[in-house]
Structure 1
Amino acid sequence: MSTDSTPSEPGIAARIEGLLRRTAIALRGALTRNDGRVTLGVTGLSYFLSYLVGLRHLGFGQPGYEISVVSNPLTRAFRQVGPFQWEPVALVVAGPVELLVAPLNILLGGVLATLVGLNLAVSVVAWRGPSACRLGPGAGAAAGLPGLLSGFACCGPTVLLVVGVQASAGILSLFQWLLPITVVALLGTLLWVGNRVETGDVGSTYY
């Protein structure tokens, strides 16, 4: 007597592992191309600098050379001065460039810049050569959208001041929530792109 057996569906852990593996394939496919690497470098660096400018931690002043550090820098580096903003602990002046060094702000800006760069790198490669990431061209547009949100979250209050808009407390509180929403959107888009990767032909060309 024989019994029919049906293959069991993969568990949650297996599905997550597969999703992460496919996402890694999409990222590797994008970053093995020159246009993907250039997009990551240019957009990541541009966003990072814009992030520091938006925080008013990077700017221009009188030319000079100086490095000054506050007292108790390790303690003050963890002191928050606003939502997702921490106190600078050093000032670096190199020529006309002035940089306020806040380690946690720099770390957060670097993470955001990397996520934005990766999203846009996949976006560009999926648009120019979908087969490189084994994606459809439609994935490219979706991967680029969170980058716009992240830029607005970083520099929104500064933009309001530049155009002369009086920001109410409600508007400013909105920007406080845009940053974590942006991180979730950037990670979510990368995983969504990974879910669209065809893994049947793992040995296909990435170039």
Structure 2
Amino acid sequence: MSTDNPTDWAGMAASIQRLFRNTVVAVSGALSRRDGQVGLAVSGLAYFLLYLTGLRHLGLGPVGYEVSVVSNPLTRTFRQVGPFQWEPIALVVAGPVELLVAPLNMFLGAVLALLVGLNLAVSVVAWRGPAACRLGPGAGAVSGLPGLLSGFACCGPTILLVIGVQASAGLLSLFQWLLPLTVVALFGTLLWVGSRVETA
């Protein structure tokens, strides 16, 4: 099939448009149900907290109350300390909870948490009531898989330290670069779910 033919390009554009439209149908169908909303909220919040904990920006310490901000916070907000990691600009202590505030890290974590939550919400609804999303029941397990695996993107090095593995620099770099692959996988799974929506 020649891609120089305008008809081919029009057909491809129509297919992509239909795929995105079907994905919206699947996601909106999942979020119209109580179990889908709970799945999104619980898994999204859990992942966001896990992400911050994996970066060591969220933890427990002595009980206290404090808010401190670094000098030149706007400049230091954009200062990278590693691939897809930025410098914290504030410390918030509320009781035993200590939070290092790095706006770009938190934004990235929130985007990932939303993608994970949407995948797992669709997974739950596709398993419990596939007709709600106009999906086949087989979509459930696959749509949830990247959401479960994506935790390694934020806490791979922490997991290695906990189990006592001597990680080489190359292995640690691999974990750091899993982040963009995770985003692609989560988007790809949502689009795959969209390809299984019955439009009739």
TM-score band, normalised by shorter chain: over 0.9
Residue 41 of structure 1 corresponds to 41
Question: 1:148 deviation in Å?
Answer: 2.2
Secondary structure, counterpart of 2:88 in structure 1: coil
Residue 169 of structure 1 corresponds to 169
Do the aligned partners of residues 18 and 76 (structure 1) sit closer, same or farther apart at CA in structure 2, a change above 3 Å counting?
A: same
Report the Cα distance in structure 2 between the residues aligned to 1:147 and 1:14, rounded to whole angstroms.
29
Question: 1:164 deviation in Å?
Answer: 1.3
> Is 1:157 the counterpart of 2:172 in the alignment?
no
Secondary structure, counterpart of 1:53 in structure 2: helix
Secondary structure, counterpart of 1:197 in structure 2: coil
- Which residue identity lines up with residue 123 of structure 2 in the other structure? S
Question: 1:76 deviation in Å?
Answer: 0.4
8 Å CA contact 2:143–2:189 kept in 1: the answer is: yes
Residue 139 of structure 1 corresponds to 139
Question: 1:153 deviation in Å?
Answer: 1.4
Percent of aligned pairs with the same residue? 78
- Which residue identity lines up with residue 63 of structure 2 in the other structure? P
Report the Cα distance in structure 2 between the residues aligned to 1:151 and 1:75, rounded to whole angstroms.
29
Secondary structure, counterpart of 1:11 in structure 2: helix
Question: 1:199 deviation in Å?
Answer: 1.2
Do the aligned partners of residues 173 and 199 (structure 1) sit closer, same or farther apart at CA in structure 2, a change above 3 Å counting?
A: same
Instruction: Summarize deviations over 1:33-88 as a string: whole Å, max 9, x none.
Output: 00000000000000000000000000011111111000110110000001110000
Residue 29 of structure 2 corresponds to 29
> Is 1:60 the counterpart of 2:60 in the alignment?
yes
Secondary structure, counterpart of 2:144 in structure 1: helix
8 Å CA contact 2:27–2:118 kept in 1: the answer is: yes
Do the aligned partners of residues 63 and 193 (structure 1) sit closer, same or farther apart at CA in structure 2, a change above 3 Å counting?
A: same
Q: Which moved more, 1:50-59 or 1:157-166?
A: 157-166
Report the Cα distance in structure 1 between the residues aligned to 2:164 and 2:124, rounded to whole angstroms.
35
Which runs of 5 or more structure 1 residues have no equivalent in the other structure?
Answer: 1-6, 201-207
8 Å CA contact 2:154–2:176 kept in 1: the answer is: no
TM-score (normalised: structure 1): 0.91
> Is 1:110 the counterpart of 2:110 in the alignment?
yes
Secondary structure, counterpart of 1:56 in structure 2: coil
Q: Which has the higher helix share?
A: 2
Q: Which moved more, 1:10-19 or 1:34-43?
A: 10-19
Residue 90 of structure 2 corresponds to 90
Report the Cα distance in structure 2 between the residues aligned to 1:75 and 1:8, rounded to whole angstroms.
48
Structure 1 runs, 4 residues or longer, greater than 3 Å off: 7-10
Question: 1:11 deviation in Å?
Answer: 2.4
